[in-house]
Amino acid sequence: MKYIKNNISKLAIICVAFLSSCDYDSTNQDPTRPGGENVELVAIVPAMQTQTHRNIGAVLGRYAGIITQQWEGVDAQQLQYTTYVIGENDTNNPWDFGLYTGSMRDAADIIERATNLEAPNTRGLAKIYMAINLGLATNAWGDVPYSEAFQGEDNLSPKYDDQEELYGVLQTLLSEAITDLNAEDPAGIQGDLVGGSNEQWISAAHGLKARFYIQQTIVNPNAAQMALDELDMATSSNTDQLDFFFENTQNGGHPLALFGFQRPNTMVIGDYFSNLMMGDPRMPLYMNESAGGTFRYFDANDPNLFWSKLDSPSPVISYAEVKFIEAEALERTGGDGTEAMEEAILANMSYLGVTTANANAYLSSIGSASIETIITEKYKALYGQSPMQIWNGYRRTGFPSITPNPDGENGNNPSGIIPRRLLYPISERQSNPDAYEAAIQAQGGHLLDDDIWVFPSN
């Protein structure tokens, strides 16, 4: 792991443009990033945000989407991933360049600088983004470095923190972010590409707190109620939702669109997902059918494909996700989640541009809420915007009822089940071996069919 701080200074616009073009998918070059003592916060914040939203939708997102059968590979590496051949070399780049020398390092840097500069609002934003990225990391790998991860040359072999403790860290980060964003700060939030108000970021932080609570329903009997307690203060409409918009260019575009341009004809919509979406008014907004009968997630000539355009958005947390969390939490605490589930579906369809008449007609076909119905509808609604949350929902509930790939048994997935986690990257085995081995021993393994603490097998 490359924890040493990069002290190369660049103009902010050059750094952000270069970073936006890097999907860290087929290159091992560490993106040039803002650094140095004299670089202002306004130069680092855009890099942190851009890489974070790329992390959500790029390599980790594709792994999660292929594992949950929203996509499937038809050529090249994607074909291997579809049969769960995802090894330690495949996880190097998202771990190293996406997270630990990318957006997480930027977030840690901003938190330190903003503290020194007495800029609490910007520090609060960085804590939200640190939580988002740490959430991605621990969802994928379980125990991961955090408390010792950003000490530079003072500690090149950071320990892996226990996942149960990391879930406490996530809540602390978000609570501190809310406090920071409520603080008086004449400079306000500096460098924010999303352009949200303090109130919108506070609402998003409450929504993220609810997300991380609902993920703990198997291991914490109070998790659903704790999620509900946050939702009264969370994002309350599509208008209130915060979106990051990618550039309408082949350098800085949305990861799905870039992958469609750069790796054409290697990944398509999965059969399970296309069959599930039949009759759903969102289907033509997610996919179109090729002459050969497969369904494509990307077509440069189809402007209706909402999530695979260069300038597609990336929600910080969508209002629809907030309402799905509410629906599930109500069901788990003895209430009726039907109304919240319907509001979630309507919010998602409205956001995508589905007409009210078509949305209402769809609602009339789904019946009342149950955990299975809520998670299956969430699987449909979060397509394209948050693949990791879809995989999280499956690992936690067993829904939707997908079946393992019949060719999914291999050395990294000896039981052949739908993967429960990712392998730690080879860079960790080579450069941080003691901490790496300790983490594997603490969790009872790190193969694809090994559980992580928060998602024990159902």
- Over residues 242-279, the pLDDT tens digits come to 999 999 999 999 999 999 999 999 999 999 999 999 99
Considering the chain, what percentage of its residues have pLDDT values greater than 70? 92
Query: pTM of the prediction?
Result: 0.93
pLDDT > 60? residue 191: yes
Q: Return the pLDDT at 36.
A: 67
Interior angle at CA 7, CA 4 and CA 9, nearest 5: 150
- Mean pLDDT, rounded, of the chain: 93
The runs of H, that is alpha helices, within 313-413 are: 319-332, 338-352, 356-363, 371-381, 387-397
Measured from the Cβ of residue 33, the count of other Cβ atoms closer than 10 Å reads: 25
Q: Return the pLDDT at 256.
A: 97
Tokens of 81: 């991933």
pLDDT bucket at 152, cuts 50 / 70 / 90? confident
| Nearest-angstrom CA–CA distance, 259 and 57 | 10
How do residues 400-424 score in pLDDT, each as one tens digit?
Answer: 999 999 999 999 999 999 999 999 9
* CB neighbour list of residue 433: distance below 8 Å, 6 or more residues apart: none
